[in-house]
A and B are shown apart, each in its own frame.
Chain A
Amino acid sequence: MSDTAEKVKKIVVEHLGVEEAKVTPEASFIDDLGADSLDTVELVMAFEEAFGVEIPDDAAEKITTVKDAIEYIEKHKGE
């Protein structure tokens, strides 16, 4: 697993208070990890802070799974 994936996983575990094993790439924040819409807003803010990326609202709306987050961050970090 990449550094980004590890870090994303850690943030998700901390913010949503879920077991690490549940945070698979395919896991949906809302459907599988018990998040509500405010939780996902906060999660995206935590990604922005941790990786120094900016995630605009329209992009944030499309980040619904762990994999979505990892891919977006991999693509945009260092921009």
Chain B
Amino acid sequence: MFQNGFSPRRVVVTGMGIACPLGLGVEHVWKRMLAGESGIGSIQSFDVSTLPAKIAGQIPTGVKADGRLDINEWIPIKDQKKMDRFIQFALVAAEEAVADSGWVPPDEEARCRTGVMIGSGIGGLETIHEAATLAVQGKIKRISPFFIPSALINLASGQVSIKYGFKGPNHSVVTACATGVHALGDAARLIALGDADVMVAGGAEAAVCELGVAGFCAARALSTGFNDTPQKASRPWDEGRDGFVMGEGSGVLVLEEYEHAKARGAKIYAEVIGYGMSGDAYHITAPAEGHEGAFRAMTAALRSAGVTPAEVQYVNAHGTSTPLGDDLELEAVERLWGDAGKGLAMSSTKSAVGHLLGAAGAVEGIFSILAIRDNVAPPTLNLEKPSRESVIDRVALQAQPRKIEVALSNSFGFGGTNASIVFRAAA
């Protein structure tokens, strides 16, 4: 490959869209996040009486004008049954991101140079549950012709491409909770390597359903001690943390080749300057000792960005609020940053929105970019008493104004998959 002397192209972010437990719309969500608000609450949409975890971050329902979701405002009723909720969330976030970017391909060639890469950790779990229930009830013939295209993970990319006529690379990522970062990083590479000029990239997840909660409960991964005080449950690095809180939603970014964006006078939020990946080869759910896989992913990302740890002012941590994972990630960051850790702010925005699984890396990429844009580190809510001290400022409880030029965002997934992405302020 690339025997022709091709050199990688620069990639910038020109549009962003979000649907998450803090609501709809990038500015609305960001404002609430900086104000220290939480999107975690009791699960009302299904019966949780027999489940040990009874809380989650769910997209608030209501009208668009209030930053809430009424899916009828976004997708015709007849089409809703053709797509699981994770795809609906992707369409909502993509609509904001694409509009925000102002990118409308002027011709067929431009449409063919615009692709989509939206992933999901689990995909249409609720849809699969419904179909399986029909099978168990002996109603196998009642299974909808839309069952498979509703449940398939790559149909988020498929539906977005169909809606907008984007005919470039149509791809999807499935790497559990690292999906979002992998989607952004891989999509940026497709642009850097010349496969596309614009990529609509991100993640979507709607696993806050009976099977999803039951499955993570069975794996002993979820917080169960804060059912009566849901907003206290997601508490990364705090000594009282007892597991993660599931979240749902989608984050979508429009990535664009730098000259392409400049030529059309697009607003540029930030540049994607680095991306690194690694595997633990260790355990199906637990991170390796010292989170050495995370260490290698971050090292690779910084190397590809051509920056030293000292040049990074903010890390958006994976920080899920699990007893084991949080401190191991902290340990890996401390080891990599060394003395430069004293100047670093690292927070976990999962404290406010929960863990959006396959969408986490995408929404956290957006938060990292906004941290750069506004020179502010979003807070780690509920970090009242850290389980251990560190030179690294974890932005406890309140947002902090800080000069942020370069930010790194981490996402790690079951199976031992790690990804880090680095953004820099638009030049």
Contacts and interface: CB of A to CB of B under 8 A. Distances in A.
A38 B145 contact: yes
Contact of A17 (B76, B144, B146, B149): B76
Nearest to A54: B141
A45 B78 contact: no
Interface residues of A, number: 9
Interface centre among A14, A16, A38 (most CB of B within 10 A): A38
Nearest to B148: A38
A50 to B, nearest CB: 12
A16 B142 contact: no
Interface in B169-185: none
Interface centre among B78, B79, B144 (most CB of A within 10 A): B78
A15 interface: yes
Interface in B131-168: 141-142, 144-146, 149
Contacts, number: 20
A41 B145 contact: yes
A3 interface: no
A41 B145 CA distance: 7
A38 B77 contact: no
Interface in B78-109: 78-79, 82
Interface in A1-60: 14-17, 38, 41-42, 45, 49
Interface in B244-268: none
A35 to B, nearest CB: 10
A17 B72 CA distance: 12
A interface, over-half SS: helix
Contacts of A41: 145
Interface in B269-322: none
A17 B142 contact: no
B150 to A, nearest CB: 11
Contact of A42 (B76, B79, B141, B144): B144
B83 to A, nearest CB: 12
B77 A49 contact: no
Interface string B64-80: 00000000000011110
Contacts of B146: 38, 42
A14 B76 CA distance: 11
B77 A17 contact: yes
A45 B76 contact: no
A17 B78 contact: yes
7 contacts: A15-B78, A16-B78, A38-B145, A42-B146, A45-B141, A45-B144, A45-B145
Interface of A: 14-17, 38, 41-42, 45, 49
Interface of B: 76-79, 82, 141-142, 144-146, 149
Which 6 A-B pairs have CB atoms at the shortest separation, nearest pair first?
Answer: A17-B78, A41-B145, A38-B145, A42-B145, A17-B76, A17-B77
Given A42-B145, A45-B142, A49-B142, 16 more contacts: A14-B78, A15-B78, A16-B78, A17-B76, A17-B77, A17-B78, A17-B79, A38-B82, A38-B145, A38-B146, A38-B149, A41-B145, A42-B144, A42-B146, A45-B144, A45-B145
